[in-house]
Structure 1
Amino acid sequence: MFWKKAPRSDVAEQGAGATDLLIDVRQMSKIYNEGRENEVRALDNISLEVKWGEFLCILGQSGSGKSTLMNILGCLDIPTYGTYYLNGQAVSDMKPSVLSGIRNREIGFIFQGFNLIPALTALENVELPLIYRGMSREERRQLATDALISVGLEKRMDHRPGEMSGGQQQRVAIARAVAANPPIIMADEPTGNLDSASGLEIMRQLSTLNAQGTSIILITHDNHLAQMAKRIVTIQDGHIISDAPSKGGLDV
């Protein structure tokens, strides 16, 4: 692994470049069509620090730059200017193969649209990313089973997405994200397609993961949902306009 999920007291064991900061963004910009009439500054000279084990929410309306920021933090894109250090190492200096390995092994992604394969069962959907990691059938089956049990779907493992509610499908997506025990979970509008009760259950799942040591980065436009995180960074027009502890948080 590029690093291991561990308490901050163990960061010295995480390898060269390790730090107590999970994320260190310095004067970062993302510009599309730079220098042209239709130039768009999706992110404009922002800086951000995130420590290991945080439950951070990035809050912003559509077009604010929050999804662009998540894509960069999740190693799906790189900044135009500035630097992004992930666990003490500059992302812009990494080879594509290294970035791919980080996305596959160190970051679990949860999306609003679930992104499940309709023809596969819940168990097979959770197993799929583990196949790409070269795991044996026995190992990935056990990890997928344990992950589905952890989200309360032990009786739904053989059901396909179309046979489950939206909340159950999102729990399958969470199980898929956490099956390999990644140190970071990035959740992009994870409750956007759910009713309020199902959305609250998903947030409880994320809070439980955070209590167990997983770093959570939640992306949302919903101020009420944001209050369930522990820290809220608000972004508007590509700028961070506030960074403060939440007023609530969610007990688990």
Structure 2
Amino acid sequence: MEKLVDIREMYKIYNPGENEVRALDGVTLSIDHGEFVAIVGHSGSGKSTLMNMLGCLDVPTEGTYYLDGKDVSELSDDELSEIRNEEIGFVFQGFNLIPSLNALENVELPLIYRGLGREERRTLATQALERVGLGNRLRHRPMEMSGGQQQRVAIARAIAAKPPVILADEPTGNLDSKSGRDVMRILNELWREGRTVILITHDNEIAANARRIIKVMDGRIVSDQPNDPDAGAEHVLGDQDI
């Protein structure tokens, strides 16, 4: 089977020359379809830069990145935008919900950009919100919901179009312990249903939910190990850096 992610000797260099910063320094990485991977590192380690590359939000200075067999470096901005919209569901720490829209409208918005008709996108958005336990909150705006509920709206938005990849950047970072466990349970369920889940975090206890843990430091991968959570149980939130 063709690898989902195939990165070879990737560099991201800022200020080339004497004062250059190597946010990524020769990263080689592959991820198969259906994996649940955590990429772990403290602030400044390069994990966020790597996430931007994986999500086609930025392009490397050097190196190659094949996403599901496509050479990302050869794609136009419009083609990259299409990949982000159709193949990757993003979940961010800050929720990124539009305050003036209710939950249903927030989840529907990316589906409009995909050209789906009103009835189809309304159905998909409703199903996604029900999937994350918010079927009774469709008409609530973000300010009328807790942080955990807002993050579940963000997950519903990410999964409504049924993308094969979920890319979650510190998805529990702004949440209390219970809400964090709810979010990790949903991500685990999505993985068990066949999605590829890539989790970006600074927290070892959150990373322990994944089936593979990749640690990043100074723009390089310093370890890449399989992981076996106890009977698939979600871990409580922690605040432990690597």
1:31 alignment partner in structure 2: 13
CA–CA separation in structure 2 for the residues paired with 1:178 and 1:38: 41
Give the deviation of 1:95 after TM superposition. 1.6
**1:166-206 residue CA offsets vs partner (Å, 9 max, x unmatched):** 10000000000000000001000000000111101100000
SS at match of 2:4: strand
SS at match of 1:21: coil
1:99 alignment partner in structure 2: 80
Give the deviation of 1:248 after TM superposition. 1.7
CA–CA separation in structure 2 for the residues paired with 1:122 and 1:128: 10
Give the deviation of 1:38 after TM superposition. 2.7
Q: Which runs of 4+ in 1 moved over 4 A?
A: none
1:49 alignment partner in structure 2: 30
CA–CA separation in structure 2 for the residues paired with 1:168 and 1:210: 20
| Aligned counterparts, 1:1-252, within 5 A | 19-35=1-17, 37-248=18-229, 250-251=232-233
SS at match of 1:101: helix
CA–CA separation in structure 2 for the residues paired with 1:61 and 1:31: 19
SS at match of 2:42: coil
CA–CA separation in structure 2 for the residues paired with 1:221 and 1:47: 20
**1:93-151 residue CA offsets vs partner (Å, 9 max, x unmatched):** 11221111000111000000000011110001000111111111111100000000000
SS at match of 2:173: coil
Q: What 5-or-longer segments of structure 2 have no aligned partner?
A: 235-242
* TM-score, reference length from structure 2: 0.94
Give the deviation of 1:251 after TM superposition. 3.7
Give the deviation of 1:247 after TM superposition. 4.4
CA–CA separation in structure 2 for the residues paired with 1:105 and 1:85: 16
SS at match of 2:167: strand
Partner AA of 2:167 in structure 1: M
Aligned-pair identity in percent equals 64
CA–CA separation in structure 1 for the residues paired with 2:68 and 2:104: 32
CA–CA separation in structure 2 for the residues paired with 1:167 and 1:116: 13
Is residue 226–residue 246 contact of structure 1 (8 Å, CA) maintained in 2? no
Q: How much is the aligned-residue C-alpha RMSD, in angstroms?
A: 1.1
CA–CA separation in structure 2 for the residues paired with 1:46 and 1:163: 43
Q: What 5-or-longer segments of structure 1 have no aligned partner?
A: 1-18
